[in-house]
Structure 1
Amino acid sequence: MKATTASKSRRRAVTVAALAAGAVLALSGCGAGQVSQTATQVAAVNGNSANVGSIALRDVRFLVPPTEEYNNAKGGKAVLAFSAVNLNDSKADELVAINSDLGQVKLAEKVEIKPSSTVVADKPTAKDAAQAAAVGQQNAGENPENKSADPAAKPILVEVTGLTKDITPGLTYPLTFVFKEGGTVVVNVPVDAGPNNPRQEPPKQGHKGGE
């Protein structure tokens, strides 16, 4: 009788241990799913990024939709947009050139990135031009010898002219950024998804029976 009771006790203990192990595995499965979903999330911005020296390039992309002036088609021209952040708090840097097999990259002006500051490249809007003109007039009034507009009042314009191929959404194109102090870095540049086509996170998958 005692042997039978001991045998039942052992079977009961084995059963409880098996159920506990199953619960741990189930919880681990849920946790693994959440980590996997987090790993597949993408940045909210449309462009690519890179670091070189003390410069952080962020949201590097070609702009869309194409216009009559910027058609992103072979033989035409496109606009490159990005933010260049100087993380050094005491030394300036300069964007010397951007090289690409797509065509000639034209910097509209000298691109100096002051310490702890950001230079933004984008297609200037009419509002940007008006603000730049107002700042220029103010500067001229305070100092007649300084008739140029404040470069911080508007983004710089970076054009790629004489395109050797179409710039197509969904593809990336390597561009080489050359900085005077920071050095050289290659960035694979995508085409901006545009405001009507933001990046979407993958759908979350629940667990059957206990989401």
Structure 2
Amino acid sequence: MKATTASKSRRRAVTVAALAAGAVLALSGCGAGQVSQTATQVAAINGNAANVGSIALRDVRFLLPQTEEYNNAKGGKAVLAFSAVNLSDSKPDELVSIGTDLGQVKIADKIEIKPSTTVVANKPTAKDATAAAAHEQNAGEPAADPNAKPVLIEVTGLTKDVTPGLTYPLTFVFKQAGTVVVNVPVDAGSNNPRQEPPKQGGEH
């Protein structure tokens, strides 16, 4: 009798353990293939960043083609966008030049960056100026003036297509801060949250 009772107890213990393991697998199966909360989050800034001296370059990127004039194709033109922040509270600086093997960089106006201010380069339309000024700034960095007209910087005579998914090295030269190379991506455009795939096989 004792042997039989012990045998039954062992069988019950094995059955309980098997059911518990099955429950764990079922619960983990419900989570498999789902898009996590962090996967739906997107970066607030599309471009690259770099620091040199008292100058902080933020959101450096090529704009996506919007018109036939700026087609980002070989032989055509592209627009370079960025925010240049002067972190000094007393010394102004100036963007002297931007070098690249993609083509000739045309800076429409002299770009002076006054102390504790931000200069935005972008396609000069009201929509683009507002969008550029709305980009996040790092803590302690002065924000761009939303009413300021952005400066236009074009890269003309492109030697190759400027393609999304790739980066292109550009050399920024500042009068006081010095020189810095930035690997510049192409604007990712509108950021749309990822959608969860349709569930199959019913709810778990």
TM-score (normalised: structure 2)? 0.65
Tell me the residue number matched to 1:155: 150
Q: Show the counterpart of 1:210.
A: 203
Instruction: Rate the CA distance shift 1:74–1:119 in 2: closer, same or farther, 3 A.
Output: same
2-structure distance, mates of 1:163, 1:114? 34
How far off is 1:80 after superposition? 1.3
Which of 169, 178, 191 is residue 172 of structure 2 equivalent to?
178
Superposed counterparts of 1:107-146, under 5 Å: 107-108=107-108, 109-112=110-113, 114-115=115-116, 117-125=117-125
- CA deviations on 1:26-46 (whole Å, 9 max, x unpaired) are 44455565576735864365x
Residues 59 and 82, structure 1, Cα contact 8 Å, conserved in 2: yes
Q: Which residue of 2 aligns with 1:141?
A: none
Q: Percent identity?
A: 58
Deviation at 1:119, TM superposition (A): 2.3
Distance in structure 1 (CA, Å) of the matches to 2:178 and 2:29 = 45
* 1:104-130 Cα distance to aligned partner (Å, 9 max, x none): 112222242643x4322111137999x
- Shift, 1:12, TM fit: 1.5
Structure 2 segments unaligned to the other structure (5+ residues): 130-144
| Equivalent pair of 2:50/2:56 in contact (CA under 8 Å) | yes
CA positional deviation for 1:24: 3.0
The residue type paired with residue 190 of structure 1 is V
What is the CA distance between 1:151 and its match in structure 2?
Answer: 11
Q: Give, in angstroms, the shift of residue 207 of structure 1.
A: 7.2
2:183 matched residue in structure 1: 187
Q: How many angstroms apart in 2 are the aligned matches of 1:209 and 1:151?
A: 50
Distance 2:47 2:165 in 1: 12
Q: What's the RMSD between the two structures over aligned residues? A: 3.8
**1:104 to 1:14, Cα distance in 2 relative to 1, 3 A:** same
Aligned residue type for 1:167: V
Give the distance between the partners of 1:33 and 1:11, measured in 2 at CA.
Answer: 35
Higher helix share: 1
Letter in 1 for 2:10: R
| 1:122-168 alpha-carbon deviations (Å, 9 max, x no partner) | 11137999xxxxxxxxxxxxxxxxxxxx9962111111122223334
- Counterpart check, 1:50 vs 2:45: no
Structure-2 separation of matches of 1:6 and 1:155 = 84
In the aligned structure 2, how far is the partner of 1:50 from the partner of 1:151?
21
TM score, norm. by length of structure 1? 0.63
Aligned to 2:141: none
Structure 1 unaligned runs (5+)?
A: 130-149
Distance 1:208 1:166, change over 3 A: same
Match of 2:8 in 1: 8
SS of equivalent residue, structure 1 residue 51: strand
* Separation (CA, whole Å) in 1 of partners of 2:194 and 2:90: 42
Equivalenced residues, count: 181
SS at match of 2:155: strand
Instruction: Provide Cα deviations, 1:162-206, integer angstroms capped at 9, x if missing partner.
Output: 2223334x353403242543751322321554xxxx344443244
2:39 and 2:194 in contact (8 A); partners too: no
> Secondary structure at 2:65's aligned position in 1?
coil
Residue identity matched to 2:111: K
1-side partners of 2:16 and 2:81: how far apart?
62
Amino acid aligned to 1:65: Q
Alignment match, 1:166: 161
